[in-house]
Every structure is written in structure tokens, then in C-alpha cells.
Structure 1
Amino acid sequence: MSITLSLPNYELTGVIRHDANLRILELIDPDTGDSEVLSITLPDHSPASECVFVKDYSEHRGLTAALIRVGVGVVIRELKIGCFRSRVIELRVLT
């Protein structure tokens, strides 16, 4: 099922794909098959089972709220990373 994620500056439309083993969440364009990876890897942290880390800053500001609005996941915890204390969310994927 195709969904649209509405972020402050743009929208992303596609089908959610979650690889629980690799801890990856991506949005696949149904027309082109292109993938937009929505999750990130943090070398010093591991997400819980069925969870991914979502970048919620810079061009992805508002991504967590957009994912929650369409029922993709729920917030487990918030992390602040790096020297700028950027916001990363651990999200339990529901789909």
C-alpha cells in the first residue's frame, strides 16, 4: 500500500519496506522502484528488536511525525547525537 509522508519542505510517496534483521526502513517508489532510506545506523547504539533509528533533523526534520501520522511506527526513545546534539528517534516499526 502506497503512503505519502508530508514533511515541512516536501512530500515522499511510496511503499514502506522494513528489514528487521538489518534494521532498515525505506520507502520504495512504486513507479521506478527507487529506494529512499529513512533509517540511519549509529555506530555506538543498537536499536531494539523491530526498531530502527530515524534521523529527525536537517532535510528529514519532521520525518518521525510523518511516519507516526500514517501509522508506520511509535517512538521508543529520543537520542541527541554529535556536537550539534541532533535529534534521532528510535522508532518501533508497526508495519
Structure 2
Amino acid sequence: MDGLGFSERLEDNLYYCIFADLKAFPRGKVIKEIHTYDDFLKSDCQVVLLLVDGSFVAIYVKDSRALEHLYKHAISQGYGGIEYITEENDERIRLSVW
């Protein structure tokens, strides 16, 4: 699904999301399964969004400016417990919620 269609679907409906495992690729790039952080780095995938139990969210972003924007936006919206994921604090083995 392209970004516009995804955005319209989210905006036009009410949802209560419990689990989500989303990966975003630029249009025209190779779409492949992303299982690990190394897979993410080697792929054309630009964003990984993982939501677990409706409250824990992990976002992996390759573009540092976009990541900074997301970080500031989350803080401005009053979300707490926000921290950058680094190789030192990332306990996730797989980039999946399943």
C-alpha cells in the first residue's frame, strides 16, 4: 500500500491497534522481508514501526532528520518514556512483533 492510501485509511477510520509490524519502502525499490536489524540496514526499507500490546512502540528510521522530527513530535504530544534505540540498549533480536 502506498503512503497516501495508508494515511487515508488511518484518517478515515477509528482503530484500536494492539499489534502492528509495519515496514516502509520507497516506491520502486525492492521490497523484501526484514527479520533483523542487519536486514534493515542492508535493505531499501526506510522505516520499521513495531507496536506491541497497544502501548510499546519501537521505530527504526534510517533518515536522521526524520528520526529527530519524530522524537520531537512525540515529546510535544506528551508521550513519556521516549528514548533512542542504540546498539547498547536494543534488546530486540528480531524486528517483528510476532
Q: Report if TM-score (shorter chain) is over 0.5.
A: no
Specify the structure having the higher radius of gyration (Cα): 2
- The higher-RCO structure (CA 8 Å, 6+ apart) is 2
The normalised TM-score by structure 2 is 0.30
Identify, as 1 or 2, the structure richer in helix: 2
The normalised TM-score by structure 1 is 0.30
